[in-house]
């Protein structure tokens, strides 16, 4: 196996199984398209159910030897993977931008986040400990935290490299073997990460990638009887289907299903921070972020002035190919463009024309303008449903109680942002709102170390932080009678 990174993205990819690139069992292939140009980037072998079977069985064998290795080996190999990602970061960032469309500077940050994720869980891999539990004198009782076995990872297309690392790093750190089904729009980053990890010393078979479509490869993996844990990130309906098939096999499942997150601005907010936060919340990655702040709730006293400034900020964003590092790139695919445009049409019917944007760019690529709808009532579809594009709804509130009420007025509960200089109010909001993360005075504050996941329909379980290790371990209690004499 070569130790050199390829100088350019290949135009042909296969599956990654047992530490090497392997052809799929059938000749079926699919193409990856550059969303900025609509050109084909590569064609990729499509995993069938049989290929998934092979990957799971290879992972099972690798797990059996990995589980009995000393934890310090896991520390060493995850540390080496982090270093290898950093060494190849420019190449990996280019892959992310070619597949997904995001600006290259964002891809660089996400690749660094992926490296940091392996580094963070390397630091935990030899500290996954049990407890001893006091009982009456005649007993000794202790717990052991054991890996699950083979874990399945269904990764979406919006931040493919980081979201791959987000669940794979803790799974490997805890001693599992992983099989990853990347999104059909963005399989290359996953295949390249598996190669980088293998070259960095990860034993063969511990990390396998089965590119393909959800209905076939995805369903075969998540419904596989020898998969012991599933981490799914994507849409609500698909997540529900995955969980339903998982329960047939009694497989532990973690779901991260997106949201309709509120961003709340009070009159005493630091003005520039609130404007920056509002734009960042919805325009980052062209709004294709599970935790995007897609609903602005602004106090009625500052609505007009804040909206004026916000529109100026949105108008100043320059759109273009991510590789040239414009402020905003295209949406990921033609299908997704159609979905977002459809929501913009729905918005026009529900509340009238947007105050800015609403169109696509007159050029190749799936570009949609930054779009803001004002005067949006909370019972409209554009205020309730995840659009996953650069489309912001604006509504007003009169007081703190109404702010919380509106913040909570969707089925989702992933994150919530608030801008105020009143410390008590900020923490009252944090206490009262239904959200897995609360950002005070800076949207997307936090990082790899902070637990992330949804209340309500936004999901089950937590990624990131020390907590994620719970997703990939099970507890065995051992109780001994020591009084037989
Ligand atoms: P999706 O939920 O259908 O796809 C996500 C992943 O699940 C992909 O890897 C896909 O291949 C896989 N998948 C699809 N069907 C499957 C099945 N039956 N069994 C196992 N895996 C399966 O999402 P899609 O269609 O790409 O996007 C639709 C909407 O979902 C977006 O517009 C957005 O609102 C939301 N979404 C949310 C994300 C998040 O970060 N929470 C990420 C991506 C999409
Ligand atoms: Mg789908």
Which residues participate in catalysis according to the annotation? 256
We report the CATH number of the domain holding residue 344 as 3.40.309.10
Distance CA 349, CA 343 (A): 10
Residues 219 and 328 placed together within one structural domain of the fold: no
Average pLDDT over residues 428-455: 98
221 within a domain of the structure (yes/no): yes
CATH assignment of the domain containing 59: 3.40.605.10
Contact criterion met (CB below 8 Å) for 190 and 160 = yes
Backbone angles phi, psi at 331, to 5 degrees: -70, 165
Identify whether residues 49 and 173 lie together within a single domain: yes
3-state secondary structure of 14: coil
Please give the distance, rounded to the nearest whole angstrom, from the Cα atom of residue 447 to the centre of ligand 2: 28
Q: How many domains does the structure of the chain reveal?
A: 2
Q: Rounded to whole angstroms, how far apart are CA atoms 369 and 354?
A: 11
CA distance 151 to 398: 48
Same domain, 94 and 160: yes
Q: Which two tokens stand for residue 438?
A: 């609360």
Averaged pLDDT, 261-277: 98
Shared domain check, 465 and 408: no
Q: Which ligand is nearest to the CA of 333?
A: 1
Instruction: Give the distance (Å) from ligand 1 centre to CA of residue 258.
Output: 10
pLDDT tens track for 62-110: 999 999 899 999 999 999 999 999 999 999 999 999 999 999 999 999 9
Q: Has residue 4 been placed in a domain?
A: no
pLDDT in tens, 7-44: 579 999 999 999 999 999 999 999 999 999 999 999 99
Q: Verify that 162 and 298 share a domain, yes or no.
A: no
Q: What average pLDDT score do residues 351-368 get?
A: 98
Cα distance between residue 472 and residue 149, in whole Å: 9
Confidence of residue 485 (pLDDT cuts 50, 70, 90): confident
Is 76 domain-assigned?
yes
Closest CA to 460 of 230, 287, 281, 226: 230
165 part of a folded domain: yes
Ligand 2 midpoint to CA 449 (Å):
30
228 domain-assigned: yes
DSSP 3-state of 332: coil
Q: What's the rounded mean pLDDT across residues 419-425?
A: 98
Q: State in Å: Cα 164 to ligand 1 middle.
A: 14
Torsion sign across C-alpha atoms 294, 298, 303, 305: negative
Same domain, 134 and 159: yes
Claim to verify: residue 160 and residue 296 sit in the same structural domain? no
Is the same domain home to 329 and 232? no
pLDDT value at residue 4: 46
Q: Minimum-distance ligand to the CA of 336?
A: 1
Name the residue of 159, 216, 235 whose CB sits within 8 Å of the most ligand 1 atoms, as the mutation to test its pocket: 235
In a domain, 7, yes or no: no
Same-domain status, 177 and 266:
no
Domain range for 159 is 12-257+459-476
Task: Judge if 281 and 368 occupy the same domain.
Answer: yes
pLDDT at 3 over 50: no
Q: Which atom of ligand 1 is nearest to the CA of 237?
A: 2
Any domain includes 144? yes
Q: Are residues 280 and 364 in the same domain?
A: yes
CA-CA distance, 94 to 102, in Å (whole number)? 10
Please check whether residue 236 lies inside any domain of the structure: yes
Q: Please identify, by atom number, the ligand 1 atom nearest to the C-alpha of residue 289.
A: 40
In whole angstroms, give the CA distance from residue 187 to residue 217: 13
Q: Which ligand does the CA of 183 lie closest to?
A: 1
Do 207 and 348 sit in the same domain of this protein?
A: no
Question: Which residues form the pocket of ligand 1, taking CB atoms under 6 Å from any ligand atom?
Answer: 154-158, 181, 183-184, 213-215, 218-219, 222, 233-235, 238, 241-242, 256-258, 290, 339, 386, 388
């Amino acid at each position: 196996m070569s130790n050199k990174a390829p100088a350019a993205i290949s135009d042909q990819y296969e599956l990654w199984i047992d530490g090497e690139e392997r052809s799929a069992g059938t000749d079926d292939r699919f193409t990856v398209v550059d969303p900025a140009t609509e050109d084909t980037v590569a064609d990729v072998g499509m995993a069938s159910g049989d290929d998934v079977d092979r990957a799971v069985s290879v992972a099972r064998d690798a797990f059996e030897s990995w589980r009995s290795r000393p934890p310090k080996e896991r520390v060493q190999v995850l540390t080496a993977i982090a270093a290898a990602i950093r060494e190849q970061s420019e190449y990996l960032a280019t892959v992310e931008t070619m597949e997904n469309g995001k600006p290259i500077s964002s891809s660089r940050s996400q690749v660094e986040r992926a490296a940091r994720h392996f580094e963070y869980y390397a630091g935990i891999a030899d500290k996954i400990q049990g407890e001893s539990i006091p009982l009456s004198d005649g007993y000794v009782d202790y717990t052991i935290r054991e890996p699950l076995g083979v874990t399945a990872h269904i990764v979406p297309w919006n931040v493919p490299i980081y979201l791959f690392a987000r669940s794979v790093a803790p799974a490997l750190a805890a001693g599992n073997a992983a099989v990853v089904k990347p999104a059909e729009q963005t399989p290359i980053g996953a295949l390249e990460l598996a190669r980088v990890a293998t070259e960095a010393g990860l034993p063969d078979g511990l990390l396998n990638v089965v590119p393909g479509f959800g209905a076939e490869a995805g369903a075969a993996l998540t419904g596989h009887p020898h998969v012991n844990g599933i981490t799914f990130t994507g849409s609500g309906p698909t997540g529900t289907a995955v969980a339903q098939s998982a329960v047939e096999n009694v497989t532990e499942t973690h779901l991260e299903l997106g949201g309709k997150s509120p961003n709340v601005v009070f009159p005493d907010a630091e003005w520039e921070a609130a404007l920056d936060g509002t734009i960042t919340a919805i325009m980052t990655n062209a709004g294709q972020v599970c935790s995007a702040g897609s609903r602005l709730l602004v106090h009625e006293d500052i609505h007009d002035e804040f909206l004026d400034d916000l529109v100026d900020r949105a108008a100043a964003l320059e759109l273009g190919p991510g590789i040239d590092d414009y402020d905003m790139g295209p949406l990921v695919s033609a299908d997704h463009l159609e979905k977002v445009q459809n929501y913009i049409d729905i918005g026009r019917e529900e509340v009238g024309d947007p105050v800015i944007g609403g169109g696509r760019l007159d050029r190749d690529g799936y570009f949609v303008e930054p779009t803001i709808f004002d005067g949006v009532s909370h019972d409209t579809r554009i205020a309730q449903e995840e659009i996953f594009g650069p489309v912001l709804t604006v509504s007003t509130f009169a007081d703190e109680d109404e702010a919380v009420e509106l913040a909570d007025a969707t089925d989702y509960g992933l994150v919530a942002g608030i801008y105020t200089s009143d410390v008590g109010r900020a923490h009252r909001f944090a206490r009262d709102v239904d959200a897995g993360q609360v950002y005070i005075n800076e949207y997307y504050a936090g990082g790899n170390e902070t637990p992330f996941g949804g209340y309500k329909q936004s999901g089950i379980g937590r990624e990131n932080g020390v907590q994620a290790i719970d997703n990939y371990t099970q507890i065995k209690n051992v109780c001994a009678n020591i009084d037989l004499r």
